[in-house]
Structure 1
Amino acid sequence: MKFTDGYWGMRPGVQALHPAQAYDVQAGTESGDASLTVYAPTRRIRHRGDTLNRPMATIRLFSPAPGVVGVRLTHHAGGRERPPHFALPGAGAADGKDRASIRVDDDVAELTSGSLTARVHRGDTWRLDFVATDRATGQERVLTSSGPKSMGFMTMPDGGHHVVERLDLNPGDAVYGLGERFGPLVKNGQVVDIWNNDGGTATEQAYKNVPFYLTNAGYGVFVNHPGLVSFEVASEIVAGTQFSVQDQELEYYVIHGPSPKEILTRYTALTGRPARVPAWSYGLWLSTSFTTDYDEATVTSFVEGMAERDIPLSVFHFDCFWMREFNWCDFEWDPRTFPDPPGMLKRLKGRGLNICVWINPYIAQRSPLFAEGKARGYLVRRPDGSVWQWDMWQAGMALVDFTNPRAREWFAGHLRRLLQMGVDAFKTDFGERVPTDVVWHDDADPQRMHNYYTHLYNETVFDVLREHKGDDGSVVFARSATAGGQQFPVHWGGDCDSTFASMAESLRGGLSLAMSGFGFWSHDIGGFENIPDPVVFKRWCAFGLLSSHSRLHGSGSYRVPWEFDDEAVDILRTFTKLKMRLMPYLSAAAREAYGDGVPVMRPMALEFPEDRATTHLELQYMLGDRLLVAPVMSASGEVSYYLPSGTWTSLLDGGTFDGGRWLTETHSIGSLPLLVRPDTVLPLGAVDARPDYDYADGLTLHLYQLADGHDSTLTIPDAEGAGHSTFHVARRGSSVIVRAVFAGRFPAAWSATVAGTDLVAEAPAGTTELTVTV
């Protein structure tokens, strides 16, 4: 939200109050850690008379975790605190050397947590600096600051009260994140409102809004407010990032890195790490599509058609019309088209498939569950006690009140019945259009619940799956989210059109979400709305199978490849099989997601922060840390992309390219830039028919441009998560020595190749070391 009229004035009717000086500082403790409370009147105090009739800001500094400093800015503290609040599993007092410390003297008051210090200047001018200390040299660097007229309280013409903060941006600072946003990846110059909407992928609205941004300047900022947060990113005041809430209090956390990966690691430690998803979920998902007609015979024809064409299929998804129209959701199979659901699911699972079904958190009036939910108080109500209803989406639909524990259990009970029937996963659609003129069971603030509702919805579903499938077997396919939602993977990009432009929108959204702490992401291959041109579909197949998760889905048409042509079948087969062979590599990348909070699909700036040429790159990405992907988004096959320095190797044809420059190429319909980073040990599995197999058995290690002195250890988890094998690779001159430690039994064989060329050395069963000649 904008408050000013240019640099000097305010917008008509806006009254501003800003801290003028740090008048008094008190040291204390919060949650067992040191804290500082700064009292900052909105005018300099020169004599006792100035203390009268003068508003004051109360600013509390604390540390919820090492390397993180929290700031709580309060005007009036007497308001009634109402839920919801972000659950912060990583917040709490640190132990020993990680505890925050304070220092107060006549000039400054400081709170230090790890390598980050919040420094309040105690002179006649307000200033709060966030200072990083280099671990090696001890040198200090100011990351960002809140200076005069940066933080404050704004009273609007209608009487509304906003709390605002603005943190400086230095020349060259770039801002990323704020959820899944489909515009430019770098947010500088944008206005972003954190407010979930069902707006497709072509507007400034987003399904997944996250009040967290990450910079290339060594820090990120998380605004701890689940409701509407308005961000002005280098827009109202172009040398700062401003954020505001309509409230009497604003809390935010500055998170030090210094690298972007370290920022995400700390942020996800605070808000929650992605869960480990099952190996089968990385395979190809095929959907019935949205409004198409289908029954068991149709589904079986699709499954058999994929098998006949040798296209590996891992998951079959039933979209909306598995239930009867006007009944969504009643969690009952439509008996007219599915007379024997348990038998059908058994037959499908007998083909080696996992099953996903579509759900949403709405109860249509025709559903038998509507009357039950109304009678038991499980549906969200209006202030007059009536059930909130409207006719958008489903006639007379209501909304499940997930703030009511009994309503959550009621909803979960219906999911358990489906799991017992043979369902393995749920597509948790919707959750964005949440009204604010309602009353919640737990007396939640309706404004704060609008974004947070999806968290309770997805958490409810994920908890049921975890109860039934265990920690390593649970996966949802979710559309909406907010901060912390990364704990319930996977998320997909929402309703996009079937064009190259929408392909680019989807990629930007996924990379933006990755910079917001989400480790796993997918999208509708070929686009959702309309029917894609065959060229678009084929290009999207390569992009989709080089994403963490891959789904064929659409609106009004089937998305099986033979609906396009034989070439589409060949391309889908090729890239699906390639992804299956990449599973040892992808599973290792996934360990970084659920272990460290580093996403599987990564913006170039996340992987190469020292290369400023990567700052704005948004049409290419890294899949894990070793593979560069540049999807082709043109009918001609022309694609331009940037290669960081070094000699890169094409995974598809073995060609080599010198980096540190832009390349423009024209690729045939079955090709795209897929390049292996120099100095890489890339593991490829021996199985291309499914994603869940013994990765070590028949494993091949491809050694690309290994530098003399290379020394690395590669960890390959097994498909079930019970253990892992490790490979230590070292190059010394013209020899590469590979030492292996296998989990469990020895594999039948494993091997190593150099630069993707001919097999150089193969190790028989029982061998744990081999030497490769370069």
Structure 2
Amino acid sequence: MKFRDGQWLAAEGVHAEYAEEVYRISPTPSGKGVSLLCPTKKILRRGDVLNLSTLTIDIEPAFDGVLSVETTHWQGALRRGPNFDLFPAGQPEVDSQVTKTDKGTTLSAGSLSATVSRKDHTFDISFHSTDGKKRLTALQNRSVGLAYTPAPTTPMQTNDMRDIKHYIFTQTTISVGESIHGLGERFGPFNKVGQTVSLWNADGGTSSDQAYKNVSFWLSSRGYGLFVDTPDRVELEIGSERCCRTQTSVEGQRLKWYIIYGPTPREILQKYSILTGTPGSVPAWSFGLWLSTSFTTSYDEETVNSFLSGMKARDIPVEVFHFDCFWLKAFQWCDFEFDSDMFPDPKGQIARLKAEGTVKKVCVWTNPYLGQASPIFAEAVEKGYLLKRKNGDVFQWDLWQTGMGIVDFTNPAACDWFVSCLNKLFDIGVDCIKTDFGERIPSNDVAWHDLAVDPKRMHNYYAFIYNKLVYEALQARYGPNEAVLFARSATAGSQRFPLTWGGDCESTPEAMAESIRGGLSLGLSGFSFWSVDIGGFEGYPDPWIYKRWVAWGLLCSHSRLHGSNSYRVPWTVDDDDASPEGCSATLAKWTHLKARLMPYLFAQAQESTRNGIPLSLRAMCIEFPDDPTAWTLDRQFMVGNNLLVTPIFEEDDTVQFYLPAGKWTNFFTGEVKAGPGWFTETHSFATLPLYVREGTLLVLGKEGEKRTVYDYTEDVEVRSYFVKEGSKAVLVDGEGKEKVVLEVKGGEIVGKNELKGECVFTVVE
């Protein structure tokens, strides 16, 4: 939200007041921080303290390298929930101190400090590394304030605030050349400078400024991150109100955020994961190919069987089969009952699918809504499971499902009921759940079961409690590391409940690029695992688009074929072209490659979850933070630490990509290129720019391996790419536990004797 009309004028209908000086500095109640009393005009004489507002800014140490900053206008305002679940693994101790020098008062939390200028009648708070070597950002003149809209003509009007909105805002400086990234799964420009961003979950597809997954955290190329600690709507003007500042505003009386010093993106994300939670682990089988029925297509048991037998006949292993919406009866979504007309024996069908070996796991689509045509709607109303309006009516509308209600997860009884429905699905053989929707949660004229929650704060937070409930139900049934979601909505902390996919994209190259930008941004928001609708969701993909999407889609952490009103089995896309360049052969090729990559992928997944970094799509700036070009790259990504991938967007088979400094080896041909530099190549559908980083020990499954789950220490191929002393590869078992460490010492690979079977060692250089 913009509060000014240019640099000099207030926006129409807005009255804003700014902290003009730091009048007094005192300890915070904890005794560890500093509390700043900041009047909204300069206090030059005794009478200036009357008839004006003040802002209190409390700066507290959180843990090493992290400070919290909370700005408050009226301290008596209620602190209503829900609140983010911070420090889920416990808050680390912090070595903090307050010092005073001729420059001002400095609060230090380990490696990060904030200095409040000691100059009279000034407002200037600088955030910097404690050693003084790195200036990060600052709150300067007229950068912290409050605003009213509509603008009152006299302070007397604020005795009735029912028709006046009140905002708190801060403006952190944007330095020359600084770029801002993250803020959830955003499909627009990768660098957010120049954008207006509203953090408010919405079902808007992948081709707008709306997002399914709004995360109130951004990461700066200058070596810091900033997490806004509220699930409420957050409005950001990132160089778009003042070009040199990021403005953060919320409606209310308080605004709290945490500033996180890295200085590297890895360190920032690791500290952010301490604050909001590390990503959950996922089982090895989930990395295999997922095949969906698609959305509004017609299907029954015979259709499902034909899909799976067709995939098997074309040598395309399917790990998970997904039943989308119409496993349920029309108008009854989502009451968890298979449509008996189409699926008279779902338990038997699932058992037969698994016994035949054409698929190992089964997933079904759900959402947290209930159409009134469902036989259980009346029971849900009677027992208070659904969200209500303020007058006591159940909240209903005809958007999506006729007369649908929304499950009220603030009601423990509703949660128990929802889990009991899930357990019935688990009883018939369902292994994982696609938790769709959860974005269009109303914030006006609603009353939650828990009357203490603020409906506006519940809008984004609903995604957290919805996915948490389903994820924990899966954990309770299948074990802590066997739970898998396929979620669309998310907010800060949702990385704890993997995994997510990128929502409704079109079947175009432009939508491929949008989706990649979304995945990169989400990865810079603390999420390790991400997927996409391969081939695009909306429309009918041309064969070339489908094949190009397959290639990079199988190099995402997770890979799913899914569409809207058309199937995504390959033979329906190109009239069953059986040539080596056909859709079926292309899908088989990339599915087999992912299977061979599993020793590398699954080991990298463990590191990703420990450190709160993305497995894939991993932005280039995470691996190469000192390369300015890496911060601009939004059409390529890393898979783990060592593999670089560039999707192809052109029908003429050409692609341009960037290689950072060092030697890079083409995975397919062994050709070596030296970076830094830009390169152009032409590729068949069987390849794309897949380059291996210098110094890599890459462990692959044996030639011809097509399974996702196997012994990653047996019959493997170990490739050396310009390795040096200390080059290392960690191998894990199917549960993610470290089993073998290969390391180059004295020119030899130490640890290879711990490998089993017939292993192949190849030097590629």
> TM-score of the superposition, structure 2-length normalised?
0.95
How far the C-alpha of 1:722 sits from its partner, in A, is 4.5
In structure 2, the partner of 1:445 is 454
CA distance in 1 between partners of 2:90 and 2:106 (Å):
20
1:553-588 CA distance string (max 9 Å, x none): 001111111112331111100110000110111112
Aligned residue runs from structure 1 range 175-574, under 5 A: 175-350=180-355, 351=357, 352-437=359-444, 438-443=446-451, 444-563=453-572, 564=574, 565-566=577-578, 567-574=582-589
Mapped contact 1:729–1:739 kept (Cα < 8 A): no
Alignment deviations for residues 524-549 of structure 1 (CA, whole Å, 9 cap, x no partner): 00000011001100110001101000
Residue deviations 1:672-696, cap 9 Å, x none?
1011111111110226222111100
How far the C-alpha of 1:720 sits from its partner, in A, is: 2.4
- Residues 1:694 and 2:711 aligned together: yes
**Aligned with 1:150: secondary structure?**
strand
Deviations along 1:75-99, one digit per CA (max 9) or x if unpaired, are 001112211111102586543xx33
SS where residue 509 of structure 1 aligns? helix
Give the aligned partner of residue 155 of structure 2: none
Query: CA-to-partner distance for each residue in 1:168-219, whole Å, 9 max, x for gaps?
Result: 1111111000110101111111110001110000111110011110011010
Match of 1:146 in 2: 139
Residue 107 of structure 1 deviates from its aligned partner by 5.2
Amino acid at match of 1:560: V
Read off the aligned partner of 2:690 and give its amino acid letter: L
Q: Residue 141 of structure 2: SS of its match in structure 1?
A: coil
* Residue in 1 that maps onto 2:75: 77
Say if 1:683 and 1:700, in contact at 8 Å, map to a contact too.
yes
Question: CA contact under 8 A between 1:93 and 1:99: conserved in structure 2?
Answer: no
Alignment of 1:101-120 (within 5 A): 101-104=97-100, 108-120=104-116
Counterpart Cα distance in 2 of 1:139 and 1:387: 57
Instruction: Encode CA deviations 1:443-476: one digit per residue, 9 max, x unaligned.
Output: 2111111111111110110010011111110110
| Separation in 2, partners of 1:378, 1:324 | 21
| Cα distance between partner residues in 2 of 1:94 and 1:45 | 40
Letter in 2 for 1:481: A
Q: Which residue of 1 aligns with 2:698?
A: 682
Distance 1:671 1:685 in 2: 19
**Rounded Cα–Cα distance in structure 1 between residues aligned with 2:4 and 2:89:** 35
Give how far 1:641 is off.
0.6
1:2 CA drift (Å) = 0.6
Cα offset, 1:344, TM superposition:
0.7
Q: CA deviation at 1:105?
A: 5.9
Instruction: Check 1:392–1:475 CA distance in 2 against 1; reply closer, same or farther (3 A cut).
Output: same
After superposition, the C-alpha distances for 1:429-448 in whole angstroms (9 at most, x for unaligned) are: 00001111211111211111
Q: CA RMSD in A?
A: 1.5
Asked whether the equivalents of residues 150 and 166 of structure 1 are also in contact (C-alpha less than 8 Å), the reply is: yes
**Selected match of 1:128 from 101, 106, 125:** 125
Distance 2:36 2:222 in 1: 27
Asked if 1:604 corresponds to 2:620, the answer is yes
Given that 1:231 and 1:242 are in contact with CA atoms closer than 8 Å, whether structure 2 keeps it comes out as yes
SS in 2 for 1:711: coil
Work out the CA distance in 2 between the residues paired with 1:539 and 1:673.
12
Matches of 2:450 and 2:42, distance apart in 1: 43
Report the AA paired with residue 99 of structure 1: D
Distance, in Å, in 2 between the alignment partners of 1:717 and 1:16 is 57
**Cα contact 1:609–1:615 (8 A) shared by 2:** yes
Shift of 1:483: 0.6
Question: 2:739 matched to 1:724?
Answer: yes
Q: Which residue of 1 aligns with 2:148?
A: 155
2:606–2:736 Cα contact (<8 Å) kept: no
Distance in 1 between the 2:171 and 2:77 partners? 24
Q: Which residue of 1 aligns with 2:37?
A: 39
CA contact (8 A) 1:64 1:92 kept: no
- 2:750 pairs with 738, 760, 767, which one? 738
CA distance 1:90–1:185, shift in 2 (3 Å) = same
Aligned to 1:17: 17
Instruction: Describe the SS at the equivalent of 2:751.
Output: strand
1:283, 1:386 → 2: CA distance? 45
**Aligned counterparts of 1:481 and 1:169: Cα–Cα separation in 2:** 27
Q: Is 1:21–1:122's contact at 8 Å kept on the other side of the alignment?
A: no
Aligned equivalent of 2:160: none
Per the alignment, do residues 349 and 89 of structure 1 end up closer, same or farther by CA in structure 2, a change over 3 Å counting? farther
Please, which of 660, 667, 687 is the counterpart of residue 683 of structure 2?
667
The 1-side partners of 2:515 and 2:480 are apart by 29
Aligned CA distance change for structure 1 residues 46 and 385 (closer, same or farther; 3 Å): same
Identity of aligned residues (%): 48
Q: Distance in 2 between matches of 1:42 and 1:739?
A: 66
SS at match of 1:304: helix
Query: In the alignment, which residue of structure 2 is the partner of 1:67?
Result: 65
Deviation at 1:19, TM superposition (A): 1.2
Displacement of 1:106:
7.2
Q: Aligned-pair distance for 1:66?
A: 1.9
Describe the superposition over 1:395-449 as per-residue Cα deviations: whole angstroms up to 9, x where unpaired.
1100000111111111111001111211010000000011112111112111111
Q: Secondary structure at the match of 1:263?
A: helix
Matches within 5 A, 1:763-774: none
- 1:587 aligns to 2:602 (yes or no): yes
String of CA shifts for 1:10-64, please: whole Å, max 9, x gaps: 112322211122111112453xx71211111112222321111121111111122
Contact 1:280 1:690 in 2 (8 A): no
**Does the C-alpha gap of structure 1 residues 459 and 92 become closer, same or farther in structure 2, counting only changes over 3 Å?**
closer
Q: C-alpha offsets along residues 109-133 of structure 1, whole Å, 9 cap, x if unaligned? A: 2221110001112322001110113
Contact 1:39 1:58 in 2 (8 A): yes
TM (norm. structure 1) is 0.94
Contact 2:143 2:171 (C-alpha < 8 Å) held by counterparts: yes
Are the aligned partners of 1:213 and 1:220 in contact in 2 as well (CA < 8 Å)?
yes
State how many pairs are aligned. Answer: 740
Residue in 1 aligned with 2:159? none
| Residues in 1 aligned to 2:674 and 2:63: alpha-carbon distance in whole angstroms | 42
Whether the 8 Å CA contact 2:603–2:736 is kept in 1: the answer is no
Work out the CA distance in 2 between the residues paired with 1:223 and 1:635. Answer: 42
Distance 1:220 1:244, change over 3 A: same
Amino acid at match of 2:396: Q
Q: 2:652, 2:278 → 1: CA distance?
A: 41
In structure 2, what residue type is equivalent to 1:102? V
Secondary structure, counterpart of 1:211 in structure 2: strand
Structure 2: distance between partners of 1:697 and 1:36: 58
Name the residue aligned to 1:637.
Answer: 653
* C-alpha contact (below 8 Å) 2:114/2:128 kept by paired residues: yes
Q: Report the Cα distance in structure 1 between the residues aligned to 2:16 and 2:29, rounded to whole angstroms.
A: 31
1:592, distance to aligned residue in structure 2 (A):
2.1
